[in-house]
Amino acid sequence: MTIFLQSLLSGVLIGGAYALIGVGLTIIFGVMRIINFAHGDLVMLGMYASYFLFTLGNVDPFVSIVFVFPLLFLFGAILQKTVINKVLNALPQNQILLTIGIGLILSNTMMLLFTSDYRIISTSYSSGSFRLGEISVSTPLLLSFVITAAVTAILYWFLLKTDTGQAIRATAQDRDAAQLMGVNVKRMSVLATGIGAGLAAVAGSLISPTYYIFPQVGQPFTLKAFVIVVLGGMGSVMGATVGGVLIGATESLAGAYISSGLKDLVVYVLFLLILLFKPAGLFGKSRV
Amino acid sequence: MTTVPTEPILEIKSVSKHFGGLAANSDVSFTMDEGMILGLIGPNGAGKTTLFNCITGYYPPTKGEILFKGGRLNGMTPDQVCKLGMVRTWQKVRPLAKLTVLDNVVVGALVRTGSVKEAREIAREQLHVVKMAHKADFLAGGLPIGERKKLEVARVLATKPDLLLLDEVMGGLNPAESEDIIQLILDIKKRGLTQMVIEHDMKAIMRISDRIVVLNSGEKLAEGAPQEVVSNPEVVTAYLGEAHV
Amino acid sequence: MPPTPRNRGLAVLPIVLGIAGVVALAILPKFVESPYALQMMVLFFLAVIQGEAWNLIGGYGGQYSVGHAAYFGIGAYTVIVLLQSRGIAPWWGLFPALLLAVLVAAIVGSITFRLRGPYFVLASIAVAEIFRLAALNWKQLTNGAEGILLSGIPPLVIAGVQITDFSSKVPFYYMGLALAVVTVLVTIWFQGSKLGYYLQAIREDQDAANSLGIPLTFYKNVALMISAFFTAFAGALYGLYVGFIDPQTAVGLDISVQIVLTAIIGGIGTILGPVIGAALLVALSEALRSNALTDLLVGIGIVNPASTIGQFLRDNLSHAHMLIYGVLVALTILYMPDGVLGGIKNQIRKRRARAAAGGAA
Ligand SMILES: Nc1ncnc2c1ncn2[C@@H]1O[C@H](COP(=O)(O)OP(=O)(O)OP(=O)(O)O)[C@@H](O)[C@H]1O
Ligand SMILES: [Mg+2]
């Protein structure tokens, strides 16, 4: 029972970061109907940004998100305007290949610039933990989960309460209808990519104290993000939030009860099963 | 073939199709005899295309039964239905854009033969039938709408069907092109094929149909000879009224 | 009516050129002994096989599998594991390897071909990742992340005569050449066959294809099984040639991406597209690896070798081939979505159609 609770808790805590990654992917998909295969590489960029802010500027990784979000927002927005925008009407296969290409460019550029050495951020609390009865709670994971929850709350407020947020949701619901209603869908696409990139990077920053940082670290996150988004229903922010936590917990439990090497395998098998039997995801068709 | 001539080629028995709460078809029944042209009319959204989709295996009907040449079609896939000899065209045409016009028709012909050479011969014949032989080597994606519609017809003819379902093959055509298609449909009838034709152009449908079925909000509103149907007051208010205002 | 060469079997000229090319390649090792040149050619042949194999399902069928590494890995691992730990000679090991790949393709196809567009792509990646993780974790069989180093290939003896002891690159050269030629021939057959027509119809419009009597999953599956067969064959050859496999280099996502790239750069759905793509990619990787590209940039005076940039390029460009692949994918999709050959083919088709219309009018 302790093992169960322990893995469930760690899974849920890491699931918070997964949720941010998934939400970023789902917003981009919702607005542009493009699956971003470079998404994990944006997480990687966030990790590196926090790493350098920490080592060069002594900025705590959890604080660094206030720099990392705008930085990667800008990066995502520019990427949308200069490249992704050109394939909005292309075949889905071609859109996917393009973003795979972008991912390769990002990870390999980082490798050229900073080698493929593994880096770590060792903060005072990196390996800290406290006990809650039988269960030990990792301090950095708990902190990151709390911040994730705050970021998610802000995001929901933005999407539900602000005009821009509502315009993004309208575009995700029905691009043509939104355009007819006077929504500047081009701008929404830029914004959505910016927000998606920013959220992925923030997730990267938040997990950076507990992960190795290297150029190829992003790839598994890309795949995990798909699983989360498909699980929650493509385009559903709510679904991605819940999906992230579910996948975090599943992975952690699979790691504890099957084998830590096979936890990803379990997740992919689950993914195939969802694709086959519940392709609309657990939360049906509702978008954003 | 052991089809008894008196047996209808197609029987639609109380077919219903629901999308969530929307009844796109409810309790539609009618039959078709071999060699006839049946006109299927009704206002936009009446459920005509949905009925085609149910008949040809794209949607499983929510309720009801479809018999083709005496056999049940329920649960069959579109390719199986095609092999049995029933094939449909698409209201929103679906050319195989990056294939040539000829190759589009070859694809249709291949359902009856394993030989590509033979399929090409069939395809060339069918292109002649729709008067598009000169366009054989053009890419289908580059054709104007009138020729795309003709290509749809040539392609389904190449599958050597017994029953053709034509979904608005005159939609969006100019009068001369429409006249071509009308002649084509009448020629096909002369060859003994059975056809069900969805069309909004009342003049055309009156000319070609042996019988007309009217759908409205998913239900069969009327059925009968063309003259009977157009003088049916219910049809006039529900359909003709709306279409002519 | 003007004859349409593409449709009346192959014209004479391409056949003559093709045979001449193959003969030239067949006698090449008699004149070229440089192991470096032979190495390049073997890599080229392997890329051709993989590109042509993917082309059948991806290019003609439009089913963009980004998971072909699964079949490549099955080929490589089965042959190598059987040889290394059971002592089964590779020419026997090939049978179970290819059979397994075809079987897995049939199962994977039956499951994933119900999905369309991006969902299919995602599923294909997930399948390949499952195989990579299996290779990584099934340590007794695969030795996990450390991979398997082959200690040698037994000499091939037929009827008491030793054909080769695999000590040079020449036998691999001929195996690669033979298989590359076979895949091209299979593609030629495929393009003119009912199967090829049906796959192209499926690529263009699945619903229309289905309504014209094409059982979609069946034909996709047949094409995938042929594709998996040759991809696994290439994987087996690769493993034997390099003498070392690990999960990343035999089943990694990079392999899948390279395979797709080979086909799309040259032009998907064309017979020679993957050949052109393979030539371009192999030449490019080699130019990077050997620093020829830096030398060229320095040679034409764009870059000063003593400058920091010159030094940086010299130090790093040789590791950059995945970066360049990324750039190539992006550029191809943005500016040349039909690939090199696809673009040319479109031009020719347009001209011919115009001429035919002019003649008939
Ligand atoms: N796949 C579907 N899912 C949900 N609703 C559908 C679907 N297909 C059709 N409908 C709905 O069913 C009703 C009937 O549509 P259908 O296309 O059959 O009409 P139609 O008679 O062919 O009209 P038109 O003359 O405009 O072609 C419409 O309200 C349509 O919106
Ligand atoms: Mg309709």
Domains and CATH numbers, chain A: 2-122+140-277 (1.10.3470)
- pTM for this prediction: 0.89
* B78 & B5 share domain: yes
Residue that the structure tokens 């509702």 belong to: A286
Q: Is B217 left (phi over 0), alpha (psi -120 to 50) or beta?
A: left
Give a yes or no: residue B65 inside a domain: yes
Domain count, chain B: 2
Give a yes or no: residue B64 inside a domain: yes
pLDDT tens-place string over residues A30-54: 889 888 999 999 999 999 999 999 9
* B34 & B47 share domain: yes
A266 touching C, CB under 8 A?
no
What is the pLDDT of chain B when averaged over all its residues? 90
Please list, in sequence order, all residues whose beta carbon lies within 8 angstroms of the beta carbon of residue C306, skipping any fewer than 6 positions away: none
| Minimal Cβ distance to A271: which of C126, C253, C260 | C126
What is the pLDDT of chain C when averaged over all its residues? 86
* B14 & B131 share domain: no
- HSE toward the beta carbon, residue B212, CA cutoff 13 A: 26
Residue B41 beta carbon below 6 angstroms from any ligand 1 atom: no
% of chain B exceeding 70 in pLDDT: 95
**The domain that contains B25 carries what CATH number?**
3.40.50.300
Does the pLDDT of residue A287 top 70, yes or no?
no
Could you identify the atom of ligand 1 that is nearest to the CA of residue B20? 4
- What does the pLDDT read at residue C70? 97
B79 and B69 Cβ atoms separated by less than 8 Å: no
* B73 & B167 share domain: yes
B79 and C1 within 8 Å at the Cβ level: the answer is no
Give a yes or no: residue B225 inside a domain: yes
Does the pLDDT of residue C6 top 50, yes or no?
no
Q: Token digits for A288?
A: 């954003």
Give a yes or no: residue B182 inside a domain: no
C-alpha C114 to ligand 2 mean position (Å): 26
C341 touching B, CB under 8 A?
no
pLDDT band at C4 (very low <50, low <70, confident <90, very high): very low
* B56 & B108 share domain: no
Whose CA is closest to atom 1 on ligand 1? B19
Residues 198-217 of C with CB under 8 A from B: 198, 200-201, 203-205, 207-216
Residue B91 beta carbon below 6 angstroms from any ligand 1 atom: yes
A90 and C337 within 8 Å at the Cβ level: the answer is yes
Fold of domain C30-272? ABC transporter involved in vitamin B12 uptake, BtuC (1.10.3470)
Q: ipTM value, please give it.
A: 0.91
Give a yes or no: residue B187 inside a domain: no
C133 and A102 within 8 Å at the Cβ level: the answer is no
Does the pLDDT of residue A145 top 60, yes or no?
yes
A264 touching C, CB under 8 A?
yes
Neighbours of B116 (CB within 10 A): 19
Regions in chain B scoring below 50 on pLDDT: 244-245
**CB-based burial, C79-103: b 16+ in 10 Å, e otherwise:** bbbbbbeeebebeebbeebbebbbe
Could you identify the atom of ligand 1 that is nearest to the CA of residue B200? 25
pLDDT tens-place string over residues A171-185: 888 888 888 888 888
- What does the pLDDT read at residue B242? 54
* B93 & B66 share domain: no
What kind and span of H or E run contains B18?
strand B10-19
pLDDT tens-place string over residues C102-129: 999 999 999 889 888 788 888 899 999 9
C-alpha B44 to ligand 2 mean position (Å): 7
What count of residues does chain A have?
A: 288
Domain that holds residue B59: 1-83+163-171+193-245
**Residues A213-233, mean pLDDT to the nearest whole number:** 90
Mutation to probe ligand 1, out of B25, B48, B53 (largest number of atoms < 8 A from CB): B48
Give a yes or no: residue B186 inside a domain: no
Kindly identify which residue of chain A lies nearest to residue C317, measuring between CA atoms.
A112
Give a yes or no: residue B39 inside a domain: yes
* B75 & B100 share domain: no
What kind and span of H or E run contains B215?
strand B211-216
Kindly identify which residue of chain C lies nearest to residue A96, measuring between CA atoms.
C118
Distance of alpha carbon B174 from alpha carbon A256, whole angstroms: 70
Residue B11 backbone phi and psi in degrees, to 5: -125, 125
Domain ranges in chain C are: 30-272
Per CB-CB distance under 8 Å, the chain C contacts of B88 are 211
* B53 & B167 share domain: yes
* B60 & B167 share domain: yes
Per CB-CB distance under 8 Å, the chain C contacts of A25 are none
What kind and span of H or E run contains C162?
strand C161-164
